[in-house]
Amino acid sequence: MGALDEGHCNGEVEGCFELGFEKEVETVAIEDAVKVLLQGLGEDVNREGLQKTPLRVAKALREGTRGYQLKVKDIVQGALFPEAGLETGTGHAGGVGGLVIVRDLDLFSYCESCLLPFQVKCHIGYVPSGHRVVGLSKLSRVADIFAKRLQDPQRLADEICSALQHGIKPGGVSIILQCSHIHFPTLESAFLASNHHGFVKMLVTSGSGVFENEKADIWGDFLSLLKFRGINVDKIHPRDSADKCWCPSQTTSKVGPANSGMTAAVSLILRSLGEDPLRKELLGTPNNFVKWLFNFKNSHLEMKLNGFVLGRMDALKSIGDDNIQSELNLSFWSQCEHHLLPFHGVVHIGYICSGGVDPIGKCLLQSIVHFHGFKLQVQERLTRQIAETASSLLGGDVMVVVEANHTCMISRGIEKIGSNTATVAVLGRFSTDPAFRAKFLQSIPNSATPEG
């Protein structure tokens, strides 16, 4: 197999944006701010796992907000194609040129209230006019210009809609966004509602031209064509609703202002991204982001197992005759130390109850999971730490499976939105006997898959 002699992008598979960003003053400023944040969390910025974290975070934030630098006209220009039969008059649903719809575009954006990424499933409709259509991929590219900024769902929908209306000048544009924002748990709230590892969801719409009136018949056509795709249009968020802000950071208890050095660092990050930290919607953002980070502060505490309350025994399930006990689907939250982005999912713990080992409660195991989760982590270490702590209580035969969604896998350069990771740790007889492993793995139900 041959290879071109002169590669323009040798080794730079992460994309040119990173190449360009790396040495810019804005990137360096964000790096310095991230170091302040890490130090505020009690971390050693020189330890190996964290050395490149400031640069990674800076590049990710600049990549993730590159929409500020892009122009709609540069994308749409040259992608308008003449098509006969598309009427200028659009009173009749565009005549024979009808509606054009692109569905299920996966985007992600950054929440302007808390700086965490949120996922967007974007559906776009437009009615061609003036005898021309636009290349289908351009609808996605234009949407991405506005997704790659600090956003709120309704404004994102409105900006995409307005940009397409002005860029293509069609009969009308309709936008529906299904947005999913990660929860915002604290160690305390995670215990109170142990199973909220879903997402805060919001469904918003925007329309222009023939779609400007939300009661227009053409909305019915558009929604009918989306209903095939399993979208529940009854859940559309009313534009004039009182609960304007969807971000879960808004409902977290308002503890006073966080470390002022850290909030100043976040303000500096906002400015370096090209934003105005004094914009109304951004005023609370530094404090919200620092509050989020503080959930994962390095506490230097030894785990006090004696302090945990033993839970109900009837929650345990015994597998076959080998006395394998298991606790499945213990939720966890953690923060990736390489990217300062959340990862979350479920933990499954199996252990063997033989002479001298009593089964222990779900509550204690959930505590162990949260204790190791709420800090800067990597999934492999989290898995090992849970296994080791559990084994000290459970007699040494322990198997742990952690299934997680990593925000860094969906929002960084690779954008692998459906991907999911699993890590395994095995101790004692689980490491020597494949039959024990197989029995435990078979006990994990399909529904263990974290919501994507």
Q: Is 291 exposed, middle or buried (0-12, 13-18, 19+ CB in 10 A)?
A: buried
Figure out which of the listed residues 28, 32, 135, 169 binds a second copy, where binding follows CB under 8 A.
Answer: 135
Q: Which C-beta is closer to a second copy: that of 114 or that of 226?
A: 226
Rule CB under 8 A: say whether 89 interacts with a second copy. Answer: no
- Please state, in angstroms and rounded to a whole number, the distance separating the CA atoms of residues 50 and 47: 6
Rule CB under 8 A: say whether 35 interacts with a second copy. Answer: no
Figure out which of the listed residues 28, 29, 100, 245 binds a second copy, where binding follows CB under 8 A.
Answer: 100
Q: Which C-beta is closer to a second copy: that of 110 or that of 184?
A: 110
Check: CB of residue 211 under 8 Å from CB of residue 79. no
Q: Determine the length of the chain.
A: 452
Shortest separation between residue 449's beta carbon and a second copy, angstroms: 6
Segment (H or E) for 362 = helix 362-373
| Residues 6 or more apart whose Cβ sits within 8 Å of residue 260 | none
Restricted to residues 197-226, the positions that interact with a second copy (CB under 8 A) are 217-218, 220-221, 224-225
**The token pair that represents 274 in the structure block:** 């090209």
**Cα dist from 13 to 18, 19, 109, 427, whole Å:** 10, 10, 22, 38
Comparing C-alpha atoms, which of 355, 342, 449 is closest to residue 402?
449
Segment (H or E) for 231 = none
Rule CB under 8 A: say whether 93 interacts with a second copy. Answer: yes
Rule CB under 8 A: say whether 128 interacts with a second copy. Answer: yes
Figure out which of the listed residues 15, 311, 359, 396 binds a second copy, where binding follows CB under 8 A.
Answer: 15
Q: Which C-beta is closer to a second copy: that of 265 or that of 427?
A: 427
Residue 177 is given by DSSP the state E
Q: Which C-beta is closer to a second copy: that of 96 or that of 313?
A: 96
- Please state, in angstroms and rounded to a whole number, the distance separating the CA atoms of residues 204 and 259: 35
Shortest separation between residue 112's beta carbon and a second copy, angstroms: 10
- Please state, in angstroms and rounded to a whole number, the distance separating the CA atoms of residues 6 and 215: 58
Pattern 277-306, a second copy, x by CB under 8 A = --x---------------------------
Shortest separation between residue 225's beta carbon and a second copy, angstroms: 5
Figure out which of the listed residues 29, 233, 378, 393 binds a second copy, where binding follows CB under 8 A.
Answer: 378
Restricted to residues 384-443, the positions that interact with a second copy (CB under 8 A) are 384, 387-388, 401, 403, 406, 408-409, 412-427, 431-432, 434, 437-438, 441-442
Figure out which of the listed residues 28, 29, 39, 49 binds a second copy, where binding follows CB under 8 A.
Answer: 49
Restricted to residues 349-368, the positions that interact with a second copy (CB under 8 A) are none
Q: Which C-beta is closer to a second copy: that of 17 or that of 294?
A: 17
Shortest separation between residue 67's beta carbon and a second copy, angstroms: 9
Rule CB under 8 A: say whether 46 interacts with a second copy. Answer: no
Q: Which C-beta is closer to a second copy: that of 173 or that of 190?
A: 173
- Please state, in angstroms and rounded to a whole number, the distance separating the CA atoms of residues 46 and 43: 9
Q: Which C-beta is closer to a second copy: that of 215 or that of 300?
A: 215
Shortest separation between residue 325's beta carbon and a second copy, angstroms: 18
Comparing C-alpha atoms, which of 142, 132, 133 is closest to residue 175?
142
Check: CB of residue 108 under 8 Å from CB of residue 129. no
Segment (H or E) for 273 = none
- Please state, in angstroms and rounded to a whole number, the distance separating the CA atoms of residues 173 and 126: 4
**The token pair that represents 103 in the structure block:** 């569905």
Restricted to residues 157-196, the positions that interact with a second copy (CB under 8 A) are none
Check: CB of residue 135 under 8 Å from CB of residue 243. no
Q: Which C-beta is closer to a second copy: that of 7 or that of 256?
A: 7
